[in-house]
Structure 1
């Protein structure tokens, strides 16, 4: 009875006091109220915390460092939290739980420790700012081949040291610092060395030698990817740019990002939604009102394409035969259109049987206009079986009255401004489609001089000049069905193509025996006054070219592989000079 009364008195006494033998930061608070305990803590710890507002956290990396006061990150001793935690001892649970706590506290000390609380958002901002100012991105080794085929134009950048301060690792380090007990912290604890990761290392002499040996194997090599009539060529300059060089940190042999970026540009050209065919025409006059060939939906598998490039790079570097060109078919998924071209007509205009393309970079605005105008005038012409097509006849008059602008043309061996400059871009593109189709070309004349536009992505000898009268491009529809000529021009990217639609009879074509010879030095530059330019301004519109002869044979075979014809083409180009437009003198 007496014992019970004593216990009740005991619990009553400690109802608003800490239980015996409780210590916070080694300071006894047992028997004290919360206010008394706080006062003891503040008085006993004042010597340790008297400079608290001036204490700073410093983080450093090599020669760089940054600091912030604990006051700025709202550091706090957090006495309230530790006092509340310690006060729970003996003040929670039922009678018997409190009795056990009383018994335990009579013989055993219980210790609690103050921890610092901070404004984590402000500390994180401090860390991010330090990383942003201190990160050393470095540079991975890379190589540039400035001129295709010329090893002497090679430039190798050995790279530079790269160091990265990882945010997560450094944040965890700071968290561990402030998770410590306040009593154990010393001033030196607030001086932190940043955790870094090496991201790049410059190539040493041996690494540079190995890089040069790898690059030598790529000089003069190429990879040609094809889908339908589209070709994508990676020359030696591209291949060199795709290399990566192991530097002791990264062991990658290829620049995956550069390869993926290149393939992504191809995907933009290839990936297309499907299009249904639309074809309406007058059956009496064969005048076409509307034409759209069916187009399958296409999607390039970019991942597979990247893998093939990587594999081909390895093949080239280890090829014992030293092949100069590797050919690949692009992995493209296709889905046919719902309405086919064949279902829209009974003329036999069912499918693509011939394709040609050309580029005309550096063309002046008037020439660009004329190319588009010419293509539109002969677009969607239907040619019956056995009929000869004349480019000049189909095109009609070329003059300012027919909306042509003055652009530079070759006339009597001179470059002159005249309506129609650019017409030959269309005739040359059609000639290439005729070669592909195997149709009978009955008349083709090469230009007297090499024209730079026609040698973009092509060799000399694949052009066809037209002017008037007998300077013409002509061919015969020697199939059993009608054919249709269709042209598309892109005046922004300065590209055009010619498509011939009909019914394939199984014939195939192959260009053989191409050769060029008889080089002659280019003629002196020609400067032409252009009143649209500012005085003294110079603009190059044509590039010098050597004189040269070229020839090739187009072999046409039937569906059984038997030779139908061997059409030979010869071109004799005189030396040509660079052309410059010059603003008028004052």
Structure 2
């Protein structure tokens, strides 16, 4: 026991010393930190400088004043590239230093509010001084504009691979390397130089771009293009149709990533611009037995861009991997109903579009264009009662110069002659197509004596209808449960005509077969007729040649699987001779 008593007091004394020394050291450090902070209270800590100018131990405002006196704004930014040099005046980019913010930044550099971070930073400064950049402002847009101008002088545009059809052959351009200015990197370097008030030159960084295809890649690219060479991708929405074929279709290919995202996005953007629309409320103003103002209700539509892009890619794969000559895609849209529907503004049964017909008349003379527009206006707003038979001639009325028509070519007595109202048959032909589309019974229709080029610009032969009062008319019957309303849209710039028929959809479905052309006969030889009223040597063509043919198509209307109307249309076109008037009169 006496042995233990002698030992323990000694151990206790040693233990006290072990804990006492670290405690004294920690106390010393804490006191040192405390007095260090007290000493630099309100001033910037040691070993901190701004753009090479020491601000240690200075009050922020004092430091800001001294910076303002000693640091000058560089006059220009100097950029170099090989043997070229470019300058951007700092005045042009509105460079300005904020010395007050700069001094505050230096003051707060070790005063973030995080005790441990600030303490570590202050200790680090003892061994590793920090040179901070100045706070500044500049016009970033003007800087980028200046860099864009410089980039245009030092960069080489790469040639990206492409494929196109030239004279029926697939040609692949493998591309060529180029370079571009790394604007992000040079902007950062400019910012750093200016932050340190440096006017030293900056080497312009160029990024190499090499999209060139290898021989193997070019070969695969050509193989893919060959598969699409004669194919068509069709996008449809209601009556809008967008066809992509030939070089337009090949432009969607990408030799590196299957299909070009940029090209497909551009297609989606262009299509969306033509399809997207706000909801349209219905307007219906009835007066004097005719609809004076009508606007059909239309759902708003917004193309689902991502879905359409995916569908384009998917159908391109189908075209590449199948024998199909073409694929058709219904454009996906998000619809929004209008507040006022057609049935909300009338009690005549005019609820929806039940038929539509269109035609083109490119190449028409001015008088014919005038007549087409005038005649079409006669049918705008016409109502046809249930059970009534519609007569084109009755609605059209008198066709003469007294009713506003001008002289244009018509077929009369087996000849093409100038007459009042040339172009009226463009209107009857377009209405005929709309009636077929609506599934209404055709009571009377006659084809032209010969094939007229206007009516085959966007249609196969056999879908025309001629009129000539009082002997030749176009008639149809309204056998729907409600009234039908006829609307016309004549576009004299695009040279297109559209008839729309509105009414009640009773579930009927109309189909027209593909016209069958037979008995094709060549036109007679050109005929030249001497005309003493024309100067000698003057030639005027008064008839254009046309091949003769018989054209038939079947028209069938069904409802709930039951046949309600059927008719076969026959058009017997005579071969037409080209006739020229040859001047034999005195020479001019």
TM over 0.5: yes
Whole-Å Cα distance in 2 between the matches of residues 578 and 213 of structure 1? Answer: 50
Displacement after TM superposition at 1:294 (Å): 3.2
Displacement after TM superposition at 1:557 (Å): 1.1
Whole-Å Cα distance in 2 between the matches of residues 261 and 524 of structure 1? Answer: 52
Contact 1:544 1:579 in 2 (8 A): no
The aligned counterpart of 2:189 is 173
The 1:490–1:527 alpha-carbon spacing in structure 2 relative to 1, beyond 3 Å, is farther
Q: Deviations over 1:432-468 (max 9, x none)?
A: 1111122111222222333333223322221111223
Contact 1:454 1:460 in 2 (8 A): yes
Displacement after TM superposition at 1:281 (Å): 4.2
The 1:263–1:414 alpha-carbon spacing in structure 2 relative to 1, beyond 3 Å, is same
2:223 to 213, 226, 230: 213
Displacement after TM superposition at 1:256 (Å): 2.4
Displacement after TM superposition at 1:324 (Å): 2.2
The 1:207–1:116 alpha-carbon spacing in structure 2 relative to 1, beyond 3 Å, is same
The aligned counterpart of 2:157 is 137
Displacement after TM superposition at 1:508 (Å): 1.1
The aligned counterpart of 2:243 is 234
The 1:158–1:523 alpha-carbon spacing in structure 2 relative to 1, beyond 3 Å, is farther
Whole-Å Cα distance in 2 between the matches of residues 349 and 157 of structure 1? Answer: 57
Q: Deviations over 1:335-364 (max 9, x none)?
A: 444444334444444433222122223333
Tell me how many residue pairs correspond in the alignment. 501
Whole-Å Cα distance in 1 between the matches of residues 579 and 265 of structure 2? Answer: 39
The aligned counterpart of 1:486 is 487
Q: Deviations over 1:143-163 (max 9, x none)?
A: 4447xxx844x5555444342
The 1:288–1:520 alpha-carbon spacing in structure 2 relative to 1, beyond 3 Å, is same
The aligned counterpart of 1:380 is 381
The 1:544–1:172 alpha-carbon spacing in structure 2 relative to 1, beyond 3 Å, is farther
The aligned counterpart of 2:461 is 460
The 1:414–1:127 alpha-carbon spacing in structure 2 relative to 1, beyond 3 Å, is same
Whole-Å Cα distance in 1 between the matches of residues 425 and 471 of structure 2? Answer: 14
The aligned counterpart of 2:557 is 556
2:272 to 264, 279, 282: 264
- CA RMSD across the alignment: 5.3
5+ unaligned residues in a row in structure 1: which ranges? 1-20, 30-52, 76-81, 87-103, 529-537
Contact 2:460 2:515 in 1 (8 A): no
Please give the TM-score of this superposition, normalised by the length of structure 2: 0.68
SS of the equivalent of 2:513 reads strand
1:299 matched to 2:301? The reply is yes
Whole-Å Cα distance in 1 between the matches of residues 555 and 291 of structure 2? Answer: 34
SS of the equivalent of 1:255 reads helix
Whole-Å Cα distance in 2 between the matches of residues 54 and 66 of structure 1? Answer: 13
The 1:496–1:145 alpha-carbon spacing in structure 2 relative to 1, beyond 3 Å, is farther
1:278 to 276, 284, 290: 284
Whole-Å Cα distance in 2 between the matches of residues 211 and 112 of structure 1? Answer: 56
Whole-Å Cα distance in 2 between the matches of residues 550 and 398 of structure 1? Answer: 29
Whole-Å Cα distance in 1 between the matches of residues 560 and 470 of structure 2? Answer: 36
Contact 2:160 2:175 in 1 (8 A): yes
Please give the TM-score of this superposition, normalised by the length of structure 1: 0.68
The 1:238–1:559 alpha-carbon spacing in structure 2 relative to 1, beyond 3 Å, is farther
Contact 1:351 1:504 in 2 (8 A): yes
Contact 2:279 2:336 in 1 (8 A): no
Whole-Å Cα distance in 1 between the matches of residues 484 and 47 of structure 2? Answer: 102
Displacement after TM superposition at 1:280 (Å): 1.7
